[in-house]
Copies of this chain bind each other. A is one copy, B any other.
Amino acid sequence: MSRPLGALLAPPLSVVTAGVDLFPRALRDQGTAVEVVDWRPPAFGDPADLAALAADPRRVAANRGAAERILAAGAELVDVRPAADALGLPRDLFLHAGPPIDFENASGPLRGALIGAALFEGLAADSDEAVHILQSGRIRLEPCHHHRAVGPMAGVTTASMWVSELRDPVNGGTAYCSLNEGLGKVLRYGAYSAEVIDRLRWMGDVLGPVLSAALSESGPVDIKSILAQMLQMGDEGHNRNRAGSLMFLRDLAPAIAESGVPAVQVADVLRFIGGNEHFFLNYGMPAAKLALDAARDIPGSSVVVAMARNGTEFGIQTSGTGDAWFTGPALTPDGLFLGGYGPDDANPDIGDSAIMETLGVGGFSMAAAPAIVRFVGGTVPDALATTRRMFAITVAENPAYAIPVLEFRGAPTGIDVLSVARTGILPQINTGMAGRVAGTGQVGAGLVKPPQVCFEKALAALAALARV
């Protein structure tokens, strides 16, 4: 060690810290003096807008009404069938994650998934032809969210793909989601090689029909109940779905065995579901969509009912502002990478899966899933602190989604645009990371937030309506 540096470190250290308390705690444990500054992110928003929204006499009751519908919502898986039937999708209409976007502005993984879908639908013989057709506009693109559907990552859903149908027996809604393909080289992460297309064909030929037959045999599967139990079992419902996937397998395995297909196909389906610890995500997402759709269109409510990303833009919708999207450029997650991948390989944030955080689980309930830090990065104290922080920007606690380590406190639920602006605390999302280049697949998983501008725009729109 050089002399000057030695001199610098010779006197007793004194450190000033701000933000999470892990760092000062570690220093104190080592006997170092620490001065903690009570730093908070700066609030934002036009003061006149903040005042107008705060003064809206409808707001408190409207937000309470939104929260009540979200908390009351149920979610039952009732059917699995092709999207052509379930959603009435024509072959030339491709659904995608996030707010509206065209092919020109699509990022790599969305382009890759759209190319793969064109190949899977037999609309193109190779990727060049698929790009040509997509550029020509002969294939129309619309958000999943505009069709009562949600899709993880690229979220591309087309006529021949089998989708799950979920019903909310309380509020009466219906929601749809594709079947989960597993991790790695999969369509939703933008991969479109032969193995990806072959897997999609098997899912349409075997998995979908077997699940459909099993559901006829077993009756509806209570997805809300599984989600509730997951939070007691170290899952948070977005990037940890291990217990959820196992409970889903448990609930349907006997009926799969009795679905009438040969034993080898029964075993293949059990092996596919059992080998994919994210299988349940595609049931949790439409369950969240059901709850949040039930809270839409309440005049005066500043509660967020959708957060979704198309890989280029992040968009949010609020209960009080109808079908408007408030968008900004999607940020790139910070996290852990697979194999030889690094930060330069990651695409900006993508997928409808932030519907889990909109419901109050996922990143909002990481305290229930401390082991997730090994997948998305961060530390266990950070995971606990994140959940505690989210209570500051939400209007309710969901007793159905109780977090044991917080002494069974309910998940922080119902993001309030006004609270986000007043505190400057943005919602915490955890997410998979897709490769930037079309065809790559998954490169990692991490933590990300919406761009602040989404909330600035929503605040302005809500304030404008409050002044009417």
A interface residue numbers (CB < 8 A to B): 229, 232-235, 242-243, 246-247, 249-251, 253-255, 257-258, 260, 263-264, 266-268, 270-271, 274, 370-371, 373, 379-381, 384, 404-405, 407-408
Q: Which residue of B lies closest to A234 (CB)?
A: B233
In the assembled complex, 27 residue pairs joining A and B whose CB atoms fall closer than 8 Å, in A order, are A229-B242, A232-B371, A233-B234, A233-B243, A234-B234, A243-B243, A243-B246, A246-B247, A249-B249, A249-B253, A250-B274, A253-B270, A253-B274, A254-B267, A254-B270, A254-B271, A255-B267, A257-B263, A257-B266, A257-B270, A370-B404, A371-B404, A373-B404, A380-B404, A380-B405, A384-B405, A405-B405
Which 4 pairs across A and B sit closest by C-beta, in order of nearness? A246-B246, A370-B404, A250-B274, A254-B267
**Given A404-B371, A405-B370, do A254 and B233 touch, yes or no (CB 8 Å)?**
no
Binding site secondary structure of chain A: helix
Chain copies in the assembled complex? 2
* Residues of chain B with a CB closer than 8 A to A242's CB: 229, 233, 243
**Extra A-B contacts (19), CB below 8 Å, given A253-B253, A379-B407:** A233-B234, A234-B243, A234-B404, A242-B243, A243-B246, A246-B246, A246-B250, A250-B274, A253-B274, A254-B268, A254-B270, A254-B271, A255-B267, A257-B263, A257-B266, A258-B267, A373-B404, A381-B407, A405-B405
Q: Which of A234, A379, A404, A405 has the most CB of B within 10 A?
A: A234
Are A264 and B270 in contact, CB atoms less than 8 angstroms apart? Answer: no
* Residues of chain B with a CB closer than 8 A to A408's CB: 380
* Residues of chain B with a CB closer than 8 A to A253's CB: 249, 253, 270, 274
Q: Which of A232, A257, A266 has the most CB of B within 10 A?
A: A257
* Residues of chain B with a CB closer than 8 A to A254's CB: 267-268, 270-271, 274
Q: State how many angstroms separate the Cβ of A141 from the closest Cβ of chain B.
A: 37
Q: State how many angstroms separate the Cβ of A200 from the closest Cβ of chain B.
A: 21
